[in-house]
Amino acid sequence: MPTIYDVAKRANVSISTVSNYVNQTAYVSPEKRKAIQEAIDELHYRPNTAARKLKLGSSQEVAVVLPNLREKLYSEIATGIHAALQAGGYKMLVYLTDDLPSRELSAIAECLDNDLGGMIVCTCRPD
């Protein structure tokens, strides 16, 4: 998944310029806007709303994407994450993918489209 850093590199501009363009917080010249938009389109970049919400402190929900809870490892991971998040005042949303990469990708996409404070992924994909 491309990041704001990838977009900046492709557009040959600074990260802050990409941020200003995406968030519309400052003037960006037409030439740079065009280069940034082309990089966004080529890379299929989507702004990380979870990172933005975490930085702004406006969301206390963190998604946890797990392959399953049948295996003891994932159950223990979920328990540990829950304890840490609860201690920090966060709520945990759990997505179970049943070890299916397509469900994992759908869960990640859904998380990115929501206003979450963060996302933790334990992938079922070996790559």
Confidence band for 89, pLDDT divided at 50, 70 and 90: confident
- pLDDT over 90 for what percent of the chain? 64
Which stretch of DSSP H or E encloses residue 62?
A: strand 61-66
Residue 108, both tokens? 């990640």
Residue 116: HSE in the Cβ half-sphere, 13 Å Cα cutoff = 21
Question: What pLDDT is attached to residue 4?
Answer: 93
Q: CA-to-CA distance for 48 and 61, rounded, in angstroms?
A: 15
pLDDT digits (tens, 9 = 90+) for 67-87: 999 999 999 999 999 999 988
Radius of gyration of the chain (CA): 17
pLDDT digits (tens, 9 = 90+) for 11-46: 999 999 998 998 888 999 999 999 999 999 999 998
- Name the nearest CA neighbour of 62 among 73, 72, 54: 54
Question: What pLDDT is attached to residue 51?
Answer: 65
What residues does 42 pair with on adjacent strands?
none
